[in-house]
Amino acid sequence: MQFANQPLAERLRPATLNDYIGQEHLIGEGAVLRKMIESGKISSFILWGPPGVGKTTLAKIIANTLERPFYTLSAVNSGVKDIRDVIDKAMKTQFFNHPNPILFIDEIHRFSKSQQDSLLGAVEQGVVTLIGATTENPSFEVISPLLSRCQVYILKSLDKKDLLKIVDLALTKDPYLKTKTVLIEEDEALLRFSGGDARKLLNVLELMVNSEENETVTINNDKVIDRLQNNMAMYDKNGEMHYDIISAFIKSMRGSDPDAAVYWLARMIEGGEDVKFIARRMLILSAEDIGLANPNALLLAQSTFDAVHKIGYPEARIILSQCAIYLATSPKSNSAYSAIDEAIALVKATGDLPVPLHIRNAPTKLMKELGYGKEYKYAHSYENNFAEQDFLPKEIKNQRLYTPQNNPLEIKILERLKSLWGKRYGK
């Protein structure tokens, strides 16, 4: 059958918003993207999320729904010339009151600065509406002038309910799978290996069905694990294993296992992974998982990022290994990570509380007359460079956000805070 030669994920690609599964926070009833699409007026935006959650599909649905010309480029094989060619085509098709085309750029994080620069004029002038797709944080990978002209929408990994809905859709709607009787006795392994990725889920399902010659196919956990052991061993820096390997690398360092850390590092090096990608992940881990237990970790990770960017392979492998082992063997703390998340949650819950008068800036006479800065105690004028006073808004003045953890450095920090603040830190 001809349709059986087309991948299952492509055969099941939804064509309308009503067929689209997941991302209810963006395309559900009343959600921001749905309202924008229904209005018929869309601005440039970037879709940021893991693979297989529907970024490309969503862009195509938007273009079809709005009946816009749709140009697509992949950052992997497109250069500045390709971008200019598309922009020239878009300009030639412009008519009075005719909606501008949509330019979809997959993996926009792989575009160089010059490639991104070549988009600016067309996006700013409305020659094209840009929809970018990225698996990387746009703040790191997209130049500021382009990022300022685009909204960023975050797509989430699909949950169990969404994944099971996709499986049911495949078994009941796909022309090829409908010719088989597929019995799913257990779905735990099927869902676990998908990792919230619809494309990976459908690839695994298709693999399971195609591996059976019988008209009746039974799927259970043992069968899935057995089939995948021989099909997921290779590392592909552009494919699905990319995200599994980097996850294993990060978790090994977080779990203080240097042997596992250098093993997964070697897997990425042998797969030709981008040194900046590896170094950036270590930079994030040094702040998120080591933090104040060893502040030098952040400095070493930053130095590693700079060094491997300048040097490249093969010598960069040594620097990466040194940093990975250092981070894996370092004491761990996520107190800074937890503190800022708690603070952000507090801000969202309490709103814009006023700054206490005594710590406000008072650059004018009127402000001084209103009490700005009055009774502020300059810490360096007091013993131990400390004077107890309130720095938080009065409504939350006793709120604790930073909790030192049980490692040598933060134990010292806690003792100092107790000596300064007394009961506030448990004394």
User: What does the pLDDT look like over 38-88, one tens digit per residue?
Assistant: 888 888 999 998 888 899 999 999 999 998 888 988 877 777 888 888 888
The reply to whether 251 and 323 lie within a common domain is yes
Q: What is the CATH number of the domain that holds 191?
A: 1.10.8.60
Could you give the percent of the chain with pLDDT greater than 70? 94
User: What does the pLDDT look like over 367-394, one tens digit per residue?
Assistant: 677 777 788 888 888 888 888 888 889 8
Report the candidate in 223, 224, 216, 219 with the shortest Cα–Cα distance to residue 180. Answer: 216
For 311-357, give the DSSP string.
H-TTTHHHHHHHHHHHHHHS----HHHHHHHHHHHHHHHH-SPPPPG
Mean pLDDT for the stretch of residues 254-283? 91
The reply to whether 204 and 264 lie within a common domain is no
d(C-alpha 251, C-alpha 357), whole Å:
45
Give residue 183's identity as a one-letter amino acid code: L
pLDDT score at 61: 92
In which band, very low, low, confident or very high, does the pLDDT at 340 lie, cut at 50, 70 and 90?
very high
The reply to whether 211 and 251 lie within a common domain is no
pTM of the model: 0.61
Query: Where does a domain end: 136, 154, 172?
Result: 154
Task: Report the SS3 class of residue 134.
Answer: strand
Task: Report the SS3 class of residue 154.
Answer: strand
Tell me, yes or no, whether 1 lies in a domain. Answer: no
pLDDT score at 154: 92
Q: CB 366: neighbour CB atoms within 10 A?
A: 9
Q: CB 288: neighbour CB atoms within 10 A?
A: 16
Burial class of residue 175, CB neighbours in 10 A (0-12, 13-18, 19+)? exposed
User: What does the pLDDT look like over 108-135, one tens digit per residue?
Assistant: 888 888 888 888 888 888 888 999 999 8
Residue 194's domain comprises: 160-229
Q: What is the CATH number of the domain that holds 128?
A: 3.40.50.300
The reply to whether 133 and 187 lie within a common domain is no
d(C-alpha 321, C-alpha 267), whole Å:
12
Residues near 201 by beta carbon (within 8 Å), at least 6 away in sequence: 52, 158, 163, 166, 167, 190, 191, 194
Angle at 239 between CA 147 and CA 234, to 5 degrees: 150
The reply to whether 120 and 27 lie within a common domain is yes
The reply to whether 29 and 131 lie within a common domain is yes
Q: What is the DSSP letter of 99?
A: P
The reply to whether 363 and 416 lie within a common domain is yes
The reply to whether 245 and 289 lie within a common domain is yes
d(C-alpha 150, C-alpha 148), whole Å:
6
In which band, very low, low, confident or very high, does the pLDDT at 341 lie, cut at 50, 70 and 90?
very high
Mean pLDDT for the stretch of residues 304-327? 93
Report the candidate in 318, 301, 310 with the shortest Cα–Cα distance to residue 265. Answer: 318
For 16-72, give the DSSP string.
SGGG--S-HHHHSTT-HHHHHHHHT----EEEE--TTSSHHHHHHHHHHHHT--EEE
Residues near 169 by beta carbon (within 8 Å), at least 6 away in sequence: 12, 21
The length of the chain, given as a count of residues: 427
The reply to whether 37 and 96 lie within a common domain is yes
Report the candidate in 158, 157, 153 with the shortest Cα–Cα distance to residue 133. Answer: 153
User: What does the pLDDT look like over 214-239, one tens digit per residue?
Assistant: 788 888 888 888 887 655 543 344 45
Name the residue with higher pLDDT: 365 or 156: 156
The reply to whether 103 and 63 lie within a common domain is yes
The reply to whether 210 and 316 lie within a common domain is no
The reply to whether 104 and 55 lie within a common domain is yes
Q: How far is CA 172 from CA 180, 181, 202, in A?
A: 10, 10, 13
d(C-alpha 336, C-alpha 221), whole Å:
40
d(C-alpha 312, C-alpha 279), whole Å:
11
State the DSSP H helix or E strand holding residue 218, giving kind and residue range, or none if neither. strand 216-219
Name the residue with higher pLDDT: 126 or 155: 155
Tell me, yes or no, whether 345 lies in a domain. Answer: no
pLDDT score at 389: 87
